[in-house]
Amino acid sequence: MAGAGGGFGCEQAGAALAFERDRAGTGGGVGVMRWALVKVCVAVTTMVVVAFAVPLGLVIKEMARDRAFSNAEREAAAIAPALSITTERDKLERVVASAGSDSGMAVHIPAADGTAAVEIGKRRAAGKDIATTRKLGRASTTEVPGGSTLLQPVALSSGEIAVVEVYVPESAVSNGVGTAWAVLAAVGVALIVGSVAVADRLGVRMVQPAQRLVESAHELGEGKLGARVPEEGPAELRLAAVAFNSMADQVVQLLANERELAADLSHRLRTPLTVLRLNTASLGDGPAAEQTRAAVAQLEREVDTIIRTAREAKPQTAAKGVGAGCDAAEVVRERMDFWSALAEDEGRKVRMAGVERPVRIPVARADLAAALDALLGNVFRHTPEGTAFAVDVHNGEDAVIVLVSDAGPGIVDPEAAMARGRGSGSDGSTGLGLDIVRRLAESTGGDVRIGSSVLGGTEVRIWIQLDGRTPERRGHRGSVRRRRRGGVGVR
């Protein structure tokens, strides 16, 4: 029996120690909300900047062109008085030179009264454009290689029309446009960056209350009953904070009422226990009498512990942290010594394994002893006399597995057995035994599983996590390995 049980236990322990869990993150949704606000503000600001910057850039370009041609008109107008007085080449060349535009200005005087036509400066415009301007009598512009020219007609004293040609290079038309566009772009980028900063600050004001609400909800779920949310932020979040704080206050009040009820109900056991203790004094000597008196004394201590715990401001939880906990091997040996005497009276074979060396676990000694007593008490209560049982302890790197197996008829509905308080009551079952074991395992991040053992009956596997991982929130209570079942009901 020992060899078979040990092999099956090692197989189950290996599968359990390979199982891992990861907690889901909680701040992701809040970060997405903040980023969404920033993106909306960036999009709106970008559209506004484009809507204003593009037309303004075009206006700046047009203003630069107008400025260049206005300068050309002033230069042409400076030559007009001289043309109205004289048409001599030497004098006109001096006037053009004094204007400082000899390289970009040309004067075209037609022939009249037997005088030849006069051409001063470099002509860039086509002859037909000059003739058209002279014929129409109004200024015009024309495109030439490298830029444009302004053709300005001027009336001479002889009645003919001279044309003053002023060259406007492309660099003069676009002078300052690039700088203006760069300034506009810099201003647009600055506006977008500023909007991002403002949106981020506004997002923080909206997101921080939501983040505190999430954190407080997790703290309350972890048992920190004093967790509350500051009532600040937008109106909707303030209302949510008020509702959360009201709910937390009600939870605290309900737990306080439950503790008082547990203490009152436990206190009612004192009277029958007193009578039972007095009756055990008259049993005389003998192993059975001593066992009965020891059981009554332990029952009195447990009732006193329940009353004290229920009266405390906070419910007791399994011990955690470095240095906390107990030696599982020592607790198993102690409880098996207690139950082995009764097993001998009923003709049950008992086996232990894995308790030769210390096995430290982050669980209080009293809690582990209560869990073992619940499981071993189920074996004696729900299996016939003579049914063998075994307890195996497997020590791994990150978890400890405690297996309690028996050769009884098994459990009809393992899922119902894992549900708190579903005992039928007809066979003295309250349905709380396995729930006590489950809560002990889950307090370390582990779990409890029910399966069939090679002994032919039930095997309860307690997985106790050692790496300090936060207990995972489950949508179910414990877990069940699907195997053939038969026999008695809920434990």
Question: CB atoms < 10 A from the CB of 491, how many?
Answer: 26
**Quick check: 451 and 421 in contact, CB under 8 A?**
no
The answer, yes or no, to whether residue 468 has pLDDT greater than 90, is: no
Query: pLDDT: is 202 or 450 the higher one?
Result: 450
Pick from 459, 446, 449, 268: nearest CA to 367: 446
What is the per-residue pLDDT for 310? 65
pLDDT at residue 329 above 90?
Answer: yes
Quick check: 23 pLDDT over 70?
no
19: pLDDT confidence band, cut at 50, 70 and 90?
Answer: very low
Which of 142-146, 193-197, 487-491 is predicted with the least confidence, judged by mean pLDDT? 487-491
Q: Please, what is the end-to-end C-alpha distance for the chain in angstroms?
A: 24
How far apart are the C-alpha atoms of 461 and 38, rounded to whole Å? 51
Q: In whole numbers, what is the pLDDT of the chain averaged over residues?
A: 76
Domain limits, the chain: 52-175, 318-491
Q: What are phi and psi of 466, to 5 degrees?
A: -110, -15
What contacts 365, CB < 8 A, 6 or more positions away?
326, 331
The tens digit of pLDDT for each residue in 446-456 reads: 999 988 888 88
- At residue 330, the pLDDT reads 93
| Residues 96-115: tens digit of each pLDDT | 776 655 567 888 888 776 66
What CA–CA distances, in Å, run from 101 to 30, 78, 107, 167? 69, 11, 11, 9
Best CA proximity match to 275, nearest among 301, 245, 300: 300
Which of 112-116, 193-197, 241-245 has the weakest average pLDDT? 112-116
Q: Is the pLDDT of residue 235 over 60?
A: yes
CB proximity list for 360: less than 8 A, separation 6 or greater? 325, 326, 327, 328
Statement: residue 394 has pLDDT above 90: yes
Span 218-223, average pLDDT: 84
Above 60 in pLDDT, residue 30? no
pLDDT in tens, 281-316: 777 777 777 878 888 888 777 777 776 676 665 544
Identify the pLDDT of residue 325: 82
Give pLDDT, residue 474. Answer: 44
Q: What is the pLDDT of residue 324?
A: 59
Helices 177-221 and 28-85, axial angle in degrees (round to 10): 170
**Cβ 192 vs Cβ 42: under 8 Å:** yes
Q: Would you say residue 15 has pLDDT above 70?
A: no
Range picked from 25-39, 105-119, 388-402 for highest mean pLDDT: 388-402
pLDDT value, residue 353: 93
The maximal CA–CA distance of the chain, rounded, in angstroms, is 163
pTM above 0.85, yes or no: no
Residue 182, phi then psi, degrees to nearest 5: -65, -40
Q: In this predicted structure, what is the pLDDT of residue 53?
A: 86
Cα-trace Rg, the chain: 49
Residue 451 falls in which region: left (phi positive, over 0), alpha (psi -120 to 50) or beta: beta
The percentage of the chain sitting over the pLDDT mark of 70, rounded to a whole number, equals 77
Kindly state which CATH superfamily the domain 52-175 is placed in: PAS domain (3.30.450.20)
Looking at per-residue pLDDT, the higher value among 61 and 430 belongs to 61
Residue 320 has what pLDDT?
A: 43
Amino acid at 49: V
Topology of the domain covering 318-491: Heat Shock Protein 90 (3.30.565)
- What percent of the chain lies above the pLDDT cut of 90? 10
Q: Which two tokens stand for residue 97?
A: 């030179």
Which pLDDT belongs to residue 281? 73
pLDDT tops 80 at residue 220? yes
Residue with tokens 């596997």: 461
Choose from 155-169, 279-293, 400-414 the range with maximum mean pLDDT: 400-414
Read off the pLDDT of each residue in 61-71 and give the average, rounded to a whole number.
86
The whole-number pLDDT of residue 99 equals: 65
Of 37-41, 216-220, 321-325, 412-416, the poorest mean pLDDT is in 321-325
pLDDT band at 83 (very low <50, low <70, confident <90, very high): confident
Q: What is the pLDDT of residue 401?
A: 93
The token duo for 434 is 């396995």
